[in-house]
Structure 1
Amino acid sequence: MSDEPLTKDERTALREAILSAFRKGDLKILVQDTLDVDLDVVVEDGPYGAVVASFIDWLNSQGKVRELVAGARRDNPGNPKLRAFEAAYVQARAPEAGHPAGAVLSSRLRAELASSLAAIPALSRREARDELVAAAPRAGSLNRTPSNARNDFELLIDQLPARQLSSLVERAIPLAAHDSALSQRLREIASSLSSADFRVPTPAKLPSGDTPDPELLLFGGVDARLARSFLERALQVGSSTARLKVPRWFNGVADGGYGYGTGWIVAPGLLITNDHVIDARDRTFEQRSEPDDYRRQAERTEAWFDYFQEGPEPVSATASSLVAFNVDLDVALVRFDAPAAFAGRTPLELVAVQPRLSPSHRLNIVQHPAVGQPPVGGPQRYAIRNNFFANIDATGRLVRYVTDTEPGASGSPVLDDDWKVIALHHSSIPIPPRHVSTLDMPRPVVTRYHNEGIAIHAILDWLRADNPQIHAEIVAARA
């Protein structure tokens, strides 16, 4: 059951309860253990009272109040303000008496109750549990798992109405007399279940004559739908994007190994990718390839077009020459003399000028991520979800985003929703832990990296200055 938003009075009461029950360090531990998030990530640091107030606003927006309160009561069961808040909160949101208790309890409290009951030694025996359940109406028709006490109690929690479950817990408490803490917690859960009136607010009726809109834009009026042309353009981009397989050469000798990456058509017969893809070295322990080896690797690079998980055999082509490269921009251009393989494939469109981007802009990536062990370049994949712009560096040359990639995606095109290239993907960079939440994700996550690409205008500026003929060739392909 999802949490209803807190009222103003409830926010105040919860703030006072948390302040009275936990010091700042203890609250951080509670949040990490209960919600699996870092308090410092979801709210800014400051005076403790302000931190708690901001944290409650975050809980409210994420629908996690019930889960946090359950964990707080677990860690500090004797605090009177927490106990009072939980009782009032549950009562205000409790379902009607006939609803199963599973609709009342948070998933964490449900698991805690099942574990607590299963921890009573006497109830490890099926016969003892049967006797405990016998007083419940329809006891004989309840689904049970007699061989496993924990699973048995979870099933009972999901089936018994809350007040009947409260009575069952009350009958179990004497069996836990050997453990005072366990007995006390069971009493508190039973009290919470029995004290609420379990009402569900009746849906408000529409005034006479009013008719609801049959169809709505559900997310604040933001239209996230896409035209058919979006899919058609995505497939065109995919047709001009290839998996690259680069042979590794050392001092004029091929060592039998390969590097993998992604490349795409920037002009007829001309592919663009990263310099480090053509370099084909593990830079954690290997030095850059010698110039002659680098050229040999470029001239023997194999491109696979139409390499899909669902499709037929890919179309293969082998490079004929290295055209240009720039180590600082991590870019390389390779020529292919393979008209049959390139037939029907068009150069990708490039943005005319670098656009002004905001966090609402989506950046798509068509890529060939590595698969298997040892990893090799895999079938083509489209990253078109959880794919938002993050920022641009101070030089304006590096674009950061949260679009997913994996090794093998280096050299992929980074594209806007019109499928025009904005950047050449080349790596990920570490960032301070940050809480990320989008409409595409069912729950927020903490990310410690951004992905990064070289802005296409920076690459074009370099070519205009150092390789004007290649720049003109790329421009002419879009004339």
Structure 2
Amino acid sequence: MAVLTPNERSELVMLLARIDCFQATDERVELVRAAGLLRAMPHIDLTGPNPRSIADDLITLANASGLPAIGQLLRAVVTRLQPDESTARRWLHTMMEQHHIALPAPELVLDAPPDEWEPEHFVGDPSLRPVAFLLRGAKASEHVALVDGPDGRGTGFLVGSSLLLTNQHVITSATAAAQAVYRFNYQKTEDDRDAPVQDYAMQRGGLFYAYKDDDYDYAFIELAGQPGQRWGFFPLEDGPPPRKGERVCIIQHPSGNPKQIAMLNNFVDDVTDTTLLYTTPTTNGTSGSPVLNEAWQVVALHHSGGKPYHDELGRLKVRNRGTRIGALLELIPPEVQQLLNQ
């Protein structure tokens, strides 16, 4: 499946044809080998005097192979750019961010002479975590459910024994809430089998409270059967928001599929009074998911992805968006408060 748009593909071909590491045949071969694509493209001709034609063939094959091939190629190109090719580097970084492709780890520079080097150093982002981090994440994932409503599928999560939070555009009305199914444990087991699920419905005559505008998109739904007693729930608290550059995970049902977690390339890009912007991967069906810090606390309610915006320097960026929990709590009426965290 093609990854790049026609404009992105055309610009990438032009960029590749201009950079230094693509001018000679041996450099092209080394680039494709470093990207791990030489065996996947055994018939590609990397010789000849026309870099643009060769770049066109290479991008065509990589684009047809899908996102992993494009990601491997872009990372290999970035690591081979010369210091004076900063414009190309910025363009590639933007492209990789938009397609949720992890940037290569930066080169570690040591000031000490070799005889004073220590035997081990972190290279790039220090991402070691205790095993308990995964165990706590698995426990937190139990609070998350597939929301299968009349208007489509999304994600929701428990914030009380009987109170579920999702997006208003996932469940648009009390009527839709009453028709929806809220499915817990919809996921794969350790041996890749279907886990046993448990379905819940809205409490007859139960609470439905929702609101939507540019910054807010939420729906609180009271469920029958006290599912939080079985699956647990996230306490909603107005804690400090994550800072730019910190990691946030999203437990979700992407495209209505079994539960998954986004833990890679998951950085906060900006924080406002109401909104969290992040690179954590999402797709259709992620709407209504919890955005979680590294303590597995809910810091935002995910509601949209891929919307372009201009940052403080006027640069156009594409980021995923969620409403900060602190901002959301300020709008909750007493009838919701009675069910929250209970």
Bucket of the pairwise TM-score, normalised by the shorter protein: 0.5 to 0.7
Letter in 1 for 2:305: S
- The residue aligned with 2:325 is 456
The answer as to 2:314 corresponding to 1:363 is no
Larger Rg: 1
Higher relative contact order (CA 8 A, sep 6+): 2
The 5-angstrom pairing of residues 146-157 of structure 1 reads: none
Q: Once the 2 structures are TM-superposed, how far is the Cα of residue 456 of structure 1 from its aligned partner?
A: 0.7
The 5-angstrom pairing of residues 49-68 of structure 1 reads: 68=19
Residues 1:474 and 1:102: Cα distance change in structure 2 (over 3 Å): same
- The residue aligned with 1:268 is 161
Q: Distance in 2 between matches of 1:363 and 1:386?
A: 9
TM-score calculated relative to the size of structure 1: 0.47
Contact 2:168–2:210 (Cα < 8 Å) also in 1: yes
Question: 121, 144, 168: which is aligned to 1:216?
Answer: 121
The runs of 5 or more residues in structure 1 that have no matched partner are 1-28, 38-66, 75-100, 117-205, 248-257, 280-293, 371-376, 435-445
The answer as to 2:332 corresponding to 1:470 is no
Structure 2 SS opposite 1:337: coil
Q: Distance in 1 between matches of 2:16 and 2:257?
A: 33
Structure 2 SS opposite 1:347: coil
Structure 2 SS opposite 1:474: coil
Letter in 1 for 2:221: V
Residues 1:399 and 1:113: Cα distance change in structure 2 (over 3 Å): closer
Q: Once the 2 structures are TM-superposed, how far is the Cα of residue 276 of structure 1 from its aligned partner?
A: 0.7
Residues 1:260 and 1:212: Cα distance change in structure 2 (over 3 Å): same
TM-score calculated relative to the size of structure 2: 0.64
Identity %: 26
Q: Distance in 1 between matches of 2:199 and 2:32?
A: 54
Q: Distance in 2 between matches of 1:31 and 1:268?
A: 52
Residues 1:267 and 1:108: Cα distance change in structure 2 (over 3 Å): closer
Q: Once the 2 structures are TM-superposed, how far is the Cα of residue 318 of structure 1 from its aligned partner?
A: 1.2
Q: Distance in 2 between matches of 1:402 and 1:104?
A: 31
Q: Once the 2 structures are TM-superposed, how far is the Cα of residue 412 of structure 1 from its aligned partner?
A: 0.2
Higher fraction of helix: 1
Q: Distance in 2 between matches of 1:471 and 1:234?
A: 26
Question: 285, 297, 304: which is aligned to 2:176?
Answer: 297
The 5-angstrom pairing of residues 83-94 of structure 1 reads: none
1:91-135 deviations in Å (ceiling 9; x for gaps): xxxxxxxxxx9589644799765357xxxxxxxxxxxxxxxxxxx
Q: Once the 2 structures are TM-superposed, how far is the Cα of residue 324 of structure 1 from its aligned partner?
A: 1.2
The answer as to 2:53 corresponding to 1:114 is no
Q: Distance in 1 between matches of 2:16 and 2:338?
A: 53
Q: Distance in 1 between matches of 2:284 and 2:142?
A: 21
The answer as to 2:142 corresponding to 1:239 is yes
Q: Once the 2 structures are TM-superposed, how far is the Cα of residue 472 of structure 1 from its aligned partner?
A: 4.3
- The residue aligned with 1:392 is 271
Contact 1:272–1:333 (Cα < 8 Å) also in 2: yes
- The residue aligned with 2:262 is 383
Structure 2 SS opposite 1:233: helix
Q: Distance in 2 between matches of 1:108 and 1:344?
A: 51
Q: Once the 2 structures are TM-superposed, how far is the Cα of residue 301 of structure 1 from its aligned partner?
A: 1.7
- The residue aligned with 2:131 is 228
The answer as to 2:20 corresponding to 1:69 is yes
The answer as to 2:232 corresponding to 1:346 is yes
In angstroms, what is the RMSD of aligned CA positions? 3.4
The runs of 5 or more residues in structure 2 that have no matched partner are 1-8, 39-43, 50-112
- The residue aligned with 1:315 is 198
Count of residue pairs brought into register by the alignment: 251
- The residue aligned with 2:219 is 332
Contact 1:460–1:471 (Cα < 8 Å) also in 2: no
The 5-angstrom pairing of residues 34-45 of structure 1 reads: 34-35=14-15
Q: Distance in 2 between matches of 1:398 and 1:240?
A: 23
Q: Distance in 1 between matches of 2:264 and 2:32?
A: 30
Q: Once the 2 structures are TM-superposed, how far is the Cα of residue 261 of structure 1 from its aligned partner?
A: 0.7
Letter in 2 for 1:243: L
